[in-house]
Amino acid sequence: MLLKFNLHRLFFISILFSGFLGYVFNSGIIANGPLIIVAGLVIVYEIVANEKIAKKHMFSFVLFLPYVAWASFVYISNPFEGRYLSTHFLTILILPLLVLSFLRMLYGGGQRYNYKFIYKSLLIFVFLQLVVCLGQISTYAFGVGLPVNELYAEGGMVTGTFFNSNDLAATTLAILFFVLGLEKYFFKEDKYLFWIVAFALLIITGSRSAIILGVGLFVFSKVNDPKKILTYGSLFFILALLSVFFIGSIENEAVSRMLVRVESLVNVLQYGVSADNSMTMRINSYFHFLEKLPKLGLGSGEINNYFKYSDGANFRGADLLFQNPHSLIVEIGYWLGWPGLVLFFGPMVLLLSNSRRKLSLIATFLIVSMIPSSILGSMLFFLILILGFFDFKSLNKIAPPAGTSI
């Protein structure tokens, strides 16, 4: 029993912190090697131990296998950039293991300890991301600090250990959603530190959608106490003013980018989505996707190449959005067609039974998946995506009777 939970915990950690290994060593082998080894050990253990699993949970795990089979076949037929062993392929293969690991940890014995382990790990993760971001800001300001992504260096983008800032914003927001759903039942200590660090990351990344949704999640989680809403809202407003005043006195690319993003956010709140070209492009792209739904067929079969569906796309930025659609639904639809959409989101519907926040979960992850340009190759995003489904109301709901299997 102890070995099983340690392996699943280790699997969780190996994915959660793989980006830091890649950032430090600049090597995909070093970043992904540990999780490949641990994933193999998890599979071997599950085969050898042959522990029972409840029928409902078995379906949650097994129903992802057809998606893995279809996506793997399509990927191998036309691998991304000609690379068979890539994070895109690994993301496909580990998806069922993510579901199985969370089922084992959060339905088996020691649920409270496993929830605390996950929470502490996420707290360390966001804190380390903030350290990296501050180091990158230092590089922009003083020329000394942590490495920045050279592709976005001219624009002053702060990315943490991610490829770009939107990826970091989306992951932070998804983590925030999970933590806010469980804090009143499990997490009392360190929660204010978590909020501060998470919102600092959202502000640094400058993702307007993430900031708006992050504030919304925070406010609605306190809706049962109007006094707290007023207090927290006032504090957030004061901190925002102080932050703008402080960073406005510093001259460097990263700070300038943050100020531009904040100004853009204010314009959106005042004048609507049409005031922001990026949001307008994405909305036009989503409407175009809806028009193409009857013609999706089996998809393009090639990641980042969806131009077969571009006819009639007269909106600005179409060339970019048919490579990076900024939506998980659109991306899977264009890449794998109707089989991909059905085989991926079908099992997700079954997983919803684990959540007490079904509507907010759907809405949050629809929006979160629209923030990054592409997430098909992000194992970390899918890790947090699956985790977001497990937000039980209390331990009494998830603890099985003594002597029963999961």
Q: State pLDDT tens for residues 77-136.
A: 999 988 888 899 999 999 999 999 998 888 876 777 888 889 889 999 999 999 999 999
| Contact (CB, 8 A) for 8 and 101 | yes
Complete DSSP assignment for 151-215: TTGGGT---TTSSSHHHHHHHHHHHHHHHHHHTTTT--TTHHHHHHHHHHHHHHHT-HHHHHHHH
Contacts of 249 (CB under 8 A, 6+ apart): none
| 281 exposure class (CB count in 10 Å sphere: 0-12, 13-18, 19+) | middle
| pLDDT value for 50 | 75
Give residue 59's pLDDT.
Answer: 83
pTM for the whole structure: 0.86
Question: What was the pLDDT predicted at 247?
Answer: 54
Residues of the chain with pLDDT under 50: 1, 271, 274-275, 398-405
**Entry field: residues in the chain:** 406
* Tokens, residue 194: 């978590």
What are the residues whose beta carbons fall under 8 Å from the beta carbon of 126, sequence distance 6 or more?
172, 175, 194, 197, 198, 201
Taking alpha carbons only, the member of 200, 154, 148, 194 closest to residue 175 is 194
Which pLDDT does position 298 carry in this prediction?
A: 93
**Which residue type is seen at 189?**
E
Over residues 233-278, the pLDDT tens digits come to: 666 666 665 555 555 555 555 555 565 555 555 555 554 554 455 6
* Cβ density class 64-82: b for 16+ within 10 Å, e for less: beebbebbeebbeeebbee
Helix and strand numbers (H, E) in the chain are: 18, 0
Q: Are 97 and 64 in contact (CB under 8 A)?
A: no
Quick one: pLDDT at residue 106? 82
What's the pLDDT at 89?
94
